[in-house]
Amino acid sequence: MTADDVRETGAALAARALELPELAHARTVAAYVSVGSEPGTRALLDALRARGVRVLLPVLLADNDLDWGAYEGHDSLVRVRHGDRMALLEPAGERLGPEAVLAADAVLLPGLAVDGRGMRLGRGGGSYDRVLARLERAGGDPALVVLLYDSEVVGLVPEEPHDRPVRAAVTPSGVHRFR
C-alpha cells in the first residue's frame, strides 16, 4: 500500500472505531502507534485525545513485555529501534509501568488477522499476550478491539491455550462483533 492508501484507510478506520460504544464512554484507552503497512492509527489517537480520553501507548521492554506512557500528541513520540527489529514510535514522557494498562477501559490491539470466533493472530512476539494475561490475572475486563484491514478478517486463525478472544475487530469498512 502507498502512504496515501495507509493514510486514507487510517481515517476510515478512525471513523469506524469512534462509533464504538466501548470507545464513546472510555476515559482511558490503551492503543498503539501503527508502523509500516499496518492500518494507520494516528488519526484515531488524535481523535481520542481531542475527546479528552487518556491514551496510553506501549513502550517495548527488552523482554518483549510492554511498559506504557501517555500520548501527548505527535511531538511526544520518539522513534526507537529495538535491536534488529523495526523501529517503533513510543511516548517520550514518563514511564507508567506495565500495570498501567489495568486502568484502560478499552485496549486497541494490533494484529495480522482475526477469525469469526474473535481469535486474534499477532506478530508472534508475545507482547500483547503478556498484556492480556496481566489483565486477566487482575480481573480486568476492558473492551478488547483489534484494528485490521478488511482482508484480515478470515475464517480461522491458529489458536494456542494462552490466546484470548477480542470483542470486536474494526476495519476501514466496518465493525465485526464476536460473542
CA–CA distance, 173 with 80 (Å, rounded to integer): 32
Q: Is 19 annotated as a binding residue?
A: no
Q: Is 127 annotated as a binding residue?
A: yes
Q: Is 126 annotated as a binding residue?
A: yes
Instruction: Confirm if 60 and 127 have CB atoms less than 8 A apart.
Output: yes
Q: Is 122 annotated as a binding residue?
A: yes
Instruction: Confirm if 167 and 178 have CB atoms less than 8 A apart.
Output: yes
Q: Is 120 annotated as a binding residue?
A: yes
Which helix (H) or strand (E) segment holds residue 8: the answer is helix 3-18
Instruction: Tell the residue number behind the cell numbers 493472530, with chain if given.
Output: 121
Q: Is 116 annotated as a binding residue?
A: no
Q: Is 124 annotated as a binding residue?
A: yes
3-state percent breakdown (helix, strand, coil) of the chain, nearest 5: 30, 25, 45
Q: Is 38 annotated as a binding residue?
A: yes
Q: Is 97 annotated as a binding residue?
A: no
Q: Residues annotated in the binding site, as ranges?
A: 33, 38, 120-128
Q: Residues annotated in the binding site for ATP, as ranges?
A: 120-128
Q: Residues annotated in the binding site for substrate, as ranges?
A: 33, 38
